[in-house]
Each structure stands twice: as structure tokens, then as C-alpha cells.
Amino acid sequence: MGDADRDASADGVASTTLRLSVACSPRAGVAFEVEVVLPTPVTALGAVRASGVFDRYPELATGDPSIGIWGRVVAADTLLRDGDRVELYRPLKRDPKEARRRRAGQGGRRRRDLSLPSR
């Protein structure tokens, strides 16, 4: 499907706007998602900026943001299609492999005793 095809509406007229959603999780337990309608063409980073995510969570605006579309990492200058879900990824605080090694070195996580209480 070419660029002209994907931007055409049901009546065959080229659309001048895109309906997108922008999502992020600025910290554990917090999720933010907003729908935006933007003029074409728009890049992934442009959609993130227009969504207000950086205004609401300024800590996400530091450094080079990691951006994805529907779970796949893309370059910030990637042009978007109607219906795309743009995701802003926060950096990991720890390397997952290193965190697992540390837990294993400390005897792992404490496990709850799941045995039934004696009567």
C-alpha cells in the first residue's frame, strides 16, 4: 500500500489529518494515553510533543526519547499513519540481566510459605 493509499478516506479523498494515540508510563504504576488529531505529515516525535506528554511529565523530555509505534521502536522522524499508537518508552533503571543476577546472588526473592496452617 502506498502513502497516497493509506492516507485516503473511504470516499477516496486524501485526508489532511491523522487520528493518533500517544501513550507512556512515566513511572511504575502510572499510565498516560491521549488521543490527538494532527495535520499531515507528522512525525512520531512531533505527535509526542503535540500530545502534551512532555509538558505533563518533563522528566521524559530529557535526552533522546525512545519512541515506538505499536510496540516497535522507530526513529523519531518516522512519518505516522492514521490510527497509529505512538509509545514513549522510559529508560530502564537497571539492566534486567544484572538485576536478576543480584537477586540470585542474594538467594533470590523470599518466597512465601504456601503450606496450609496446622490446626
* Residues 18-54 pLDDT 10s: 999 999 998 888 899 999 999 999 999 999 999 999 9
- Domain 15-103 CATH class label: alpha beta
State the burial class of residue 54 (Cβ atoms within 10 Å of its Cβ: 0-12, 13-18, 19+): middle
Burial 57-70 (b: 16+ CB within 10 A, else e): beebeeeebebbbe
Q: Domain segments of the chain: what residues?
A: 15-103
Alpha carbon separation from 80 to 4, 23, 101, 118 (Å, rounded): 13, 15, 39, 61
If one compares 3 and 42, the residue with the highest pLDDT of the two is 42
If one compares 119 and 80, the residue with the highest pLDDT of the two is 80
Query: Residue 1: is its pLDDT beyond 60?
Result: no
* Residues 66-112 pLDDT 10s: 999 999 999 999 999 999 999 999 877 777 788 888 888 876 555 55
pTM for the model stands at: 0.66
pLDDT at 88: 93
- On whether the CB atoms of residues 104 and 38 are closer than 8 A, the answer is no
pLDDT at 86: 97
Could you give the 3-state DSSP secondary structure of residue 32? strand
